[in-house]
Amino acid sequence: MYKILLLLSLVFCSVFAQVDANLEVVKKTNALPKILVSVATDTAEIETLNKIKKSLADDLSVSGHFEVVSVNSVTSYENMPDIIGLSNQGVNLYLNLSAKKEADSYTLMTKLYDINSRTLLLEKNFATTQEDRYVFLAHKAAISTNSFFKAPSIDWMEKFVVFSTYTSSGAADIMIGDYTLTYKKTVVTGGLNIFPKWADKEQKTIYYTTYNYKKPTLVKLNIYNRSKEIIMESDGMLACSDVNADGTKLLITASPTGQPDIFVYDTRTKKQTQVTKFGGIDVGGHFIENDTRIVFVSDRLGNPNIFAQGINSSSVERLVYHSNNNSSATAFGNNIVYSSKDSSNEMGEKSFNLYLISTKTDSMKRLTSSGINQFPKFSTDGETLLFIKTSGGSSSIGIIRLTYSKSFLFPLKGKRIQSIDW
């Protein structure tokens, strides 16, 4: 049992989460269009609009397609900005924000100007019936600005993350939030509820494991109408680690005989098929290569490592020869990201870094350089990676823009995260 718990602590290691919209840019690129985000002088919704401005500026930075600048230049929403003054300061684009609040809605209004051509490029409004979701207005505005220039998509910014947070000893809630965790909402509370996983592309339903029954139980929940379905129960370990693209197949770690193995569960037939049959510990399966194979974590060599196996095959392939402690694997297409324990630093602190490999080549790329980095999750397009980072006694949500080799940290406070999905 101790060995199982030790391995699971590596695969599903908990960190401390929190909410702080401050953005720390770890890496920067140059030669990008310089954009200024400003709040119009004649708006009455200053408090919320300033929060939107901050989140929108962060989104544009995270995109990798703009350089957000801080220049002291404001104007009313209806007037042209100070073209000459902005041009002299090297500003290329000016995004002016205003808002209006009505009884049942909050509307963000945006105007995007090209300073060089002195023209209004884009005027667009975004509305919500829930003002506390203002950060999603920022995400929508960033996506709209990005799309206008036909830059590579950042649509993933609109997606919810779902995560489990410990509330007390032996108790954990399931929450949803935006990718910065500026917005958070509890969707499951009471008892121990862990390992949440999105069940559908529309993000209406989730799978999660609850210990509120006689045995660990996998539940499917519609987070809007609250309808619930019991999928299965198992002694010992039970978790849904992956859902295929059309939602018809799940990869589940279960231990019906006391030994954790990986099973494929068909949501249409309700049939489960055992994939791994090793006498040790096999956990954390993810589909690769069009659902024909899985990548997973196993201790079959004495330490946790990353392996691959065909769904209908007993042949197992070792994928990682770097380090003897590799875990927290995730996959998108043929690409795999995992967490690897590197040597301790001069302060004696352990370092778990993220590495990117491909099932089709021998290439390996290190994505982080310090601290404890775990829970990697790909965006829906595979271009961005979300992860949890702990370093120097603090924790953050990390974002890596893989194509641009840019990394961002969103510091967190006050909550211990058990697991997360994007």
pLDDT in tens, 222-254: 999 999 999 999 988 999 999 999 999 999 999
Cα separation, 140 vs 147, whole angstroms? 10
Least confident of 13-27, 171-185, 223-237, 392-406: 13-27
Residue that has been written with the tokens 């506390």 in this structure = 132
Cα separation, 255 vs 277, whole angstroms? 11
3-state secondary structure 138-162: HHHHHHHHHHHCCCCCCHHHHCCEE
Tell me, yes or no, if the two domains 2-21+159-421 and 34-148 fold the same way.
no
What mean pLDDT do residues 152-166 have?
Answer: 94
Return the pLDDT at 393.
57
Say yes or no to pLDDT of 26 above 50: no
Return the pLDDT at 345.
54
Q: Give yes or no for a contact between 350 and 341, defined as CB atoms under 8 angstroms apart.
A: yes
Q: Where are the beta strands (DSSP E) in 257-393?
A: 261-266, 272-274, 282-288, 293-298, 305-310, 316-318, 326-332, 335-342, 351-358, 364-366, 372-378, 384-391
CATH superfamily label, 34-148: TolB, N-terminal domain (3.40.50.10070)
- CA 105 vs CA 109, 127, 128: distances in Å: 13, 7, 6
Show the CA angle centred on residue 408, arms to residues 116 and 164, nearest 5°: 130
Least confident of 21-25, 67-71, 236-240: 21-25
Residue bearing the bigger pLDDT, 344 or 291: 291
Say yes or no to pLDDT of 20 above 70: no
Residue bearing the bigger pLDDT, 292 or 3: 292
Cα separation, 27 vs 54, whole angstroms? 19
Cα separation, 62 vs 358, whole angstroms? 25
Cα separation, 38 vs 280, whole angstroms? 58
- CA 420 vs CA 208, 209, 259, 277, 386: distances in Å: 11, 13, 24, 27, 9
Residue bearing the bigger pLDDT, 294 or 416: 294
93 Cα distance to chain centroid:
29
Q: Give yes or no for a contact between 222 and 193, defined as CB atoms under 8 angstroms apart.
A: no
pLDDT tens across 29-43, in order? 457 999 999 999 998
- CA 106 vs CA 58, 185, 316, 351: distances in Å: 21, 19, 54, 44
Residue bearing the bigger pLDDT, 403 or 14: 403
Return the pLDDT at 344.
60
- CA 3 vs CA 36, 164, 169, 282, 292: distances in Å: 53, 23, 22, 12, 30
**Which phi-psi region, left, alpha or beta, contains residue 41 (left: φ > 0; alpha: ψ -120 to 50)?**
alpha
Residue bearing the bigger pLDDT, 44 or 49: 49
Return the pLDDT at 11.
43
The CATH classification number of 2-21+159-421 equals 2.120.10.30
* Whole-structure pTM value: 0.87
Residue 202 exposed, middle or buried by CB count within 10 Å (0-12, 13-18, 19+): exposed
Least confident of 15-19, 243-247, 340-344: 15-19
Report the chain's mean pLDDT, rounded to a whole number. Answer: 88
What sign has the CA pseudo-torsion 207, 211, 212, 218? positive
What mean pLDDT do residues 379-387 have?
Answer: 93
All structural domains of the chain with their residue ranges: 2-21+159-421, 34-148
63: tokens are: 């995109």
pLDDT tens across 103-151, in order? 889 999 999 999 999 999 999 999 999 989 999 999 999 999 999 999 9
Return the pLDDT at 243.
96
- Amino acid found at 142: A
Provide the pLDDT confidence category of residue 16 given band limits of 50, 70 and 90.
very low
181: tokens are: 């965790």
**Three-state SS at 409:** strand
Q: What is the arrangement of strands in the sheet containing 205-210, beginning at the earlier edge strand? A: 193-198, 205-210, 217-222, 228-233
